[in-house]
Structure formats: structure tokens, C-alpha cells
Chains A and B, each alone.
Chain A
Amino acid sequence: MGLWEVTSEMLRVEGLEVVLGGVAVVDGLDLEVAEGEIVVLLGPSGCGKSTLLRTIVGLERPSRGRVAWSGEDLTSVAPHERDFGLVFQDHALFPHMDVASNVAFGLRVAGLPVEVREARVAEVLDLVGLSGFGERPVDALSGGEAQRVALARSLAPGPRLLMLDEPLGSLDRALRDRLVADLGVLLRGIGQAAIYVTHDHDEAFALADRIAVMGDGRIQLIGTAAEVWSDPVSAYVAQCLGHENIVELDRSGACPLGRLGDGPGTVLIRPGQLLLSRCPDGIEATVVGSSFRGDRFSLCVAVGNLEVRVPAAEAVPVGSGVRLSIGPDPVLPLTSITP
């Protein structure tokens, strides 16, 4: 016990390695989650995010490393004794039970009396906005409703840590945006510590206290949204976060946009540093694509053999020539190590 620092840190994952089918899917991973904190685990499909969650919750056994909760080693504790919650991507609602029985399940196996269960079920159903849904069969629910029932079911026993495995993955964009916002309010309202897994950086930005970008079986970078966005460190993380203008420089530090560095390497052109220009001596470029982003347009423009994205206030026809200006401190060097 003495080895552990006394902080508000609750979950601690140390040197975790999980081998599935001969492959180390999680490979030497460290992660901490503080009390009441929402950590979003961001990474592309297949990078080991789900496996990490399943290991933390106890459904997979690590081949190395450990999982601890406020100093107590949980590595060999069975899932049903960990007091964690997991919302599955496909909900995994019990098909033979109605909504209320699904939500009451954790309370029932904990041996709570019926009155307590009923009160708590009503409470969490209200929390997820499904008051009065208790007697519905689960196969009569819409995707969004099923997702909220799954959330209510995981919240009902009051887990000390809630994990959500791409819970909105199967829903359409508009519903996702709304539910992510609702979810953030809900989790913060009850001070619930949570790990939320997604491959969608917009979801991550909307929800996270801290974002942990996962790649190659490890956490590549962790920090607040502003921290990781302004300094993504590697090209991989920059891509995961949705940065668009990642550029390779040649030996002299040049690229078609000009000389942006002192030597070879990968750089990120900071957002806002590359803009359309009215100035006649700006960099010549051709519009090759244009997409509407609501408050603005995002143009894909070609400069020589390089394609970059620039914002535009109004539509520009594809094929037309434009000029670009570049700011005074345009680039951030990145390590090009791609997991």
C-alpha cells in the first residue's frame, strides 16, 4: 500500500499487456483515472480500446501488468466482484426481461429488497429520460432508447467506475450529438468516474475531461482537449484528433507551400495559419474539392503535388484558382512515428 501515492486517483492501470490470438492487443499500457473524471479513450477501430475496457472490467485476463482501484489490486478479482459498470456497444439487453427488470438486474443480484429496487429503477430511468418505460419489452425499443436503457442498467447499482464501449456507435449523427451532450451532463451531475471509448474525435471533445489517444496497444498521449489539440506530438495523434494539414518537409525543410522548417520531417500546419488571401503575391493554388461545414466551407486545394484544407467564408467552384497566405509561426513539428 505504501507504494501508492495518496491522490484522488482511483483507477490505476500499470504495464498492462493483453494477448489475444497470439497478438499483444494491449502492450505495456499505463492509465490513471481520478475520482469523478471522464476519460475518453480515442483511437481507430482495432487499436485495442475495447480489449482494454474488457480487461479493466475483468472479462479478459492480462498476461502482464495490473489493474488497481485506490490501491487495491483487482487483477485477479472476478468481474462480478469489481463493482465496475460496462455499457456494451450492442447494448446486450436481456431479451427475456422488460426494461425495469433489465435496469433492476444489478440491484437484484446484490440482494436489495424490492422496494429499494423499484425506487432506484424509477430514479435512474428518470435520469436517462425514460420515465414510464419500465414495463416495455426491450425488443420494442428504438436504438436510442435501448442505448439509454443499457446506460440506466449500468448506472443503477452505482458502480465506482463506469465504462462505455462506443455506446453511440450504432446511432445516427444527429442523435449522437444530442446524446453525447446529455451523457456529459448526466455523468457530471452524479460525479460518475467514467472511461468512454470512441473513434470519433468530436465525441471526445464534447465529453472528455481528459482525452487519451490510444495506438499500438498503448496510450500515445493524454491530456485535456486543449492540450492534446494544440500539441499532438505525433502525426498519428494529430490524425486521430482530426487535424487535416499534416505535411512532409524535404531535406531543406521545404514543401510546395514554401520553406517551413530547417530540415526534413513531418509538421502540422496549425489551424488558422493557412488562409485564403486576396493578396496578389499569395501562394497559387487550385480548388479540387469543397465541402459545406455549416458556418463555413472547407476547401481542399492543391499546391503542386500537395493537397491541404483551408476554410472559406463562401463557396468557391471546383477548378478555380485561389491564393493562400501563411501565418508567421505556421508549423508545429511532429514525430512521424506512426503506430
Chain B
Amino acid sequence: MRGRLARVLCVGVPAAFLGLFFIYPVVSILGLGLSGGGLDHLIGLSGNANFRGVAWFTLWQAVVSTVLTVVVALPGAHLIARRRFAGRRLVRALATVPFVLPTVVVGGAFLAVFDRLGMSDGAFRLTHTVWAILIAHVFFNLAVVLRTVGSFWEGLDPGPEEQAKVLGASPTRTFLLVTLPRLRPAVAAAASIVFLFCLTSFGVVLLLGGPGIATIETEIWRHAVWRGDFEAATALAFVQLAAVLAVVAVGNGLQRRRAVGLRTVVARAPAAGRWELAANLGLLGMVLGLPVAVLLERSFLSGGGYSFDNYRALAVRVDLLPLTAIDALVNSFVFALAATAMAVTVGGLASLVVVHGPRALSRVFDLGLMLPLGASAVTLGFGMLIALDEPPLDLRSSRWLVPVAHALIGVPFVMRVLVPTLRSIDLRLREAAAVLGAPPAVARRLIDLPIAARALVVGAGFAFAVSLGEFGATSFLPRQPDRMTAPLALFRLLGTPGQQLRGQAMALAVVLMVLTGLSVLVIEMRRGSVGGDF
């Protein structure tokens, strides 16, 4: 009886959560998109030169961003996977941080970098160009490739490479002929994730692209939030959803294949050469460190000198914002706690179903709960905006709406860490427990739970950081002025000219960066043997 109740909860809670807050909004978009005025808009899109330009740009910037990210990340992945050096774990953890930094913070950091290098204007202008977007995308997604490819590479038997070298192949030829083909599944899986993120990139494009550059994502936002033209926005969201589903389907196939043959521990990694280490860390430092350093410097710069003035100003309300930056941070913090609690609950239960449930259900859950991550924050926010603001479900003024949206995005992170960990628990351990007299429920409590607990903490850390920095979905949700989140406040500060506001924005960005970065960094360093895809 208790077993059945537990099973119903495991399946029911995630299903209800996903159904109510993701499927229902998405279906609403699809419904609007395919009915009446929506359909006309959709048909009209194909002949619309402006739309075709936007769609083409969305696609090619995503392709170029992905290729650039993979190329920049591969040497670093090699270093992490195949070389031993002091501070390897720290480097690995630091490289993960950009991935969870709020898009608005990254946007702000790059604006500051371009400004500092004199590239915000003139012949070498980067601000408000596609180059700015590409660079920021590499910055963001480097960690995905580093980690996915790095950990796969680490698990590959170095035997074939050694054999190739003994047979006379140069390091380059060895890499091209032996290593790269074997890495292909991991590279493909990482690339498909990066492609998805770049395809649905929002905050970065909005901030760094400026008014002259538009992707489908920013167009949805512009139509829905600025113009209130829901029909046009729906048609665009429809197209975006279809594209994302296609990419997720392909990527999931690649992921599934990648899971085979992982984890054979390599104990004999050679020490890294001095130049190899210097070159690699130099590159990573340039790409990852420079924006952070400039952001820090700018946050202390005010009125021609360095001081804490910008940070002090966070406690003072400016006319532009309905509340002080500190209040916005407190809001974000509270929302993040609630979102993390929900994400851990839903993600934990869903992971149990994925690992222990019947095959068909397991696949549906595995793919279904991953969708909110891929389906673009903007689609998510827009869907909730149009679906959850009228009976039967009117959450427009509910304080839960923002945490729920954030939890939807957090669940995939919890699951990506938890599912592989649960899967890695050897079937024999459960058998050994059974033979020693432990009924299945007791075995789960004494074996699975303690092993999974660490993974759950890691997942919770990611969910917390992601919620703290979430911008895309939040920017759609009905905004009570007193519940504005820190990323939204930061976006407004960054979007308004003026030296003093810029300084305050930099200070707020630094605080957000420290909060998100620290939560992930601490967890990463303590993560130990916990696996997972992020």
C-alpha cells in the first residue's frame, strides 16, 4: 500500500508540475498559433522578408557560436582530461562558473570590457555587433564542452593513442586519426547542447546586440512585451518551439549513445608540461577571466577614482527602479530558495522514475523534464504569461509564479546530476543488501539515498544559481514592482545611459556574480566523485 502511494507520488508530482506549468502553457501557444489570427500570422511569416532575415541570423549565429566554442574548448578539455597539475580541480570548477553566471551579468561584463578596450565605438567597435554576441556565447558555453568532452575523454582508455604513437604517428596525427573519432559522440552531444543554448540565447543578444540585431527570441519579447502584439509573438514562439524540439530530439539521440562505455578510471595521467599548462590556462584566463576582472575593476570605479561608492549606492533607490538594488537581491534570494526546493523535489522524484521506472515512462520523463531547459526561457515565460493569467488558473498576481518558472529550468539541472549518479549505483550493491536481509525500501534508504544525497546537493546548487540569475522567463511574468528580481533591475540599469547608473550596475553585477559563482564553486570543489553532465 505504501509502495503504491510512493509510486503514485513519484510519477504524479513531476507529471502534474510539468503538465500544469510547461505543457499547458506550450499547448496554449500552439493553440493560439494555429487558430484564427495566429494562423494567418504564421502563414504570413514565410513570405515576410524581415522574419526570414531574423530566422537566418538566429540560425547562423548559433552555428558559428557552437563551432567557435568547440574549437576553443578542446585544448582545455584535453588538459583537464589527460594531464595532472596542481589546481586541476580548481580550474575545472572555475571553468564551470561562467555557465551559471546570469546572462545579464555576462552582458554587462562584456559591455564593460569593450568599453575599457575602447571598442564600444569607432572602427573596432564590438558593442552592438554580432562579434560581441559570438564572444559572449563562447564565454558562456565553454564549460559545457569542457565538462562533457573532458569527463568523457578522461574515461577513454589511452591505450589506442599510445599504440598510435608507438607506431609512429605524430601527436597531431594521433589526435586527428585516433582521438577525435573516439571523442565524436561526446563532442556531438556537447555541441548539440551548446547549439540549443545559442539558438535560444536571449539576454546576451538583447544587451550586446543592441537595437540593430534581432533573433527570434528577442523578436518574441519585443512583440509581446513592448508592442503587446500577442498574435505575432505567438507565431514566432511556434516556430521557435518547433526548431527547439527538433534539436532536442537529435541531441537526445546523441546523448543516449554517449552514455555507453563511460567511466574507466585513468590513474596514470602524465604531468602537464610547463608551456602546455601556461598556454592553456592563458587562453582560458583570457576568455573567462578578462570579463570578470574588468567587471570587478569597473564596479569600484566611480567619479574618476576607486571606492566602494557603487556598492553603497545599492542601498539607495534610483528613480529608474521601483525598489533598491538590495531589495531586488533579497527578492531574488527568496525566489531562488523556493525555486530550489521545488526543483529538488520534482527533479528528485522524476529521477527515481527515470532510473527505476518502467522503460517507456522512464524515457518520457527523461525527455519531458529536459524540455523546459531547451524550450527557451522566453517561450517558457511567454507561455506562462498567456496561459496562467485567466481562469481556470490565474496565477498572475501569485508570488509563486516566478519561483515556479525558475524551478522548471532548475529541474533539468537536478536531474542531469542525479540520474547518472543513481544509474551508477551498481545493481550488485542492491542485491548484496537484499541478501543481507534488507527489504527493497530499506536498501533504497541505506544504499541509494546516501549515495544520491551528494548529487542532490550539487543539483540544488545549480538550480539555486540558475534561479538567482534567471532573466528570460522572468522578464515576461507579470511584474509587481516590489517583487522585481535582481537580474531585471540590472538589465534596466545597464540599458540606461549615465556614468553613475553604470557604476551601480557593475556593482550589482558583481554581487550577483559572486552569489551565483560561489554557490557553484563551493559545490564543485566538494563534489568529489559525483558525476553528471554539467
Q: Chain B contacts of A94 at CB under 8 A?
A: 429, 432-433, 447
Decide if B435 touches A84 in the complex (CB within 8 Å): yes
Q: Chain B contacts of A79 at CB under 8 A?
A: 431, 434-435
Decide if A105 touches B431 in the complex (CB within 8 Å): no
Interface residues of A in 150-182 (CB under 8 A from B): 153-154, 157
Q: Chain A contacts of B442 at CB under 8 A?
A: 80, 109
- Residue in chain B with minimal CB distance to A106: B436
Out of A57, A88, A96, name the residue touching B450 (CB < 8 Å).
Answer: A96
How far, in whole Å, are A92 and B435 apart by their CA atoms in the complex? 12
Mask, B420-446, CB within 8 Å of A = 1, is 000000101101111111111011001
Decide if B447 touches A80 in the complex (CB within 8 Å): no
Nearest Cβ on chain B to A108's Cβ, whole angstroms: 8
Which residues does A use to contact B, with CB under 8 Å?
57-59, 78-86, 88, 90, 92, 94-96, 105-106, 108-110, 153-154, 157
A/B interface sample: 30 pairs, CB < 8 A: A57-B435, A58-B434, A58-B435, A78-B434, A79-B434, A80-B433, A80-B435, A80-B442, A80-B443, A81-B437, A83-B437, A85-B436, A92-B428, A92-B429, A92-B431, A94-B432, A94-B433, A95-B429, A95-B451, A96-B447, A96-B450, A105-B446, A106-B438, A108-B446, A109-B436, A109-B446, A153-B432, A153-B436, A157-B436, A157-B437
- Residue in chain A with minimal CB distance to B427: A92
| Given A58-B434, A105-B446, A154-B435, 15 further pairs, Cβ under 8 A | A58-B435, A80-B437, A80-B438, A80-B442, A85-B435, A88-B428, A90-B428, A94-B433, A95-B451, A105-B433, A105-B436, A109-B433, A153-B432, A157-B436, A157-B437
Mask, B240-272, CB within 8 Å of A = 1, is 000000000000000000000000000000000
- Residue in chain B with minimal CB distance to A153: B436
Nearest Cβ on chain A to B424's Cβ, whole angstroms: 10
Interface size in chain B (residues, C-beta < 8 A): 19
Secondary structure call for the B interface: helix
Decide if A78 touches B439 in the complex (CB within 8 Å): yes
Q: Chain A contacts of B439 at CB under 8 A?
A: 78, 80, 109
Nearest Cβ on chain A to B299's Cβ, whole angstroms: 42
Decide if B451 touches A88 in the complex (CB within 8 Å): no
Q: Given the known inter-chain contacts A105-B433, A109-B446, please indicate yes or no for A96 contacting B438, CB distance below 8 A.
A: no
Decide if B437 touches A106 in the complex (CB within 8 Å): yes
- Residue in chain B with minimal CB distance to A104: B436
Decide if A110 touches B432 in the complex (CB within 8 Å): no
Q: Chain B contacts of A84 at CB under 8 A?
A: 435
- Residue in chain A with minimal CB distance to B453: A96
Decide if A86 touches B437 in the complex (CB within 8 Å): no
Decide if A59 touches B435 in the complex (CB within 8 Å): yes
Decide if A86 touches B451 in the complex (CB within 8 Å): no
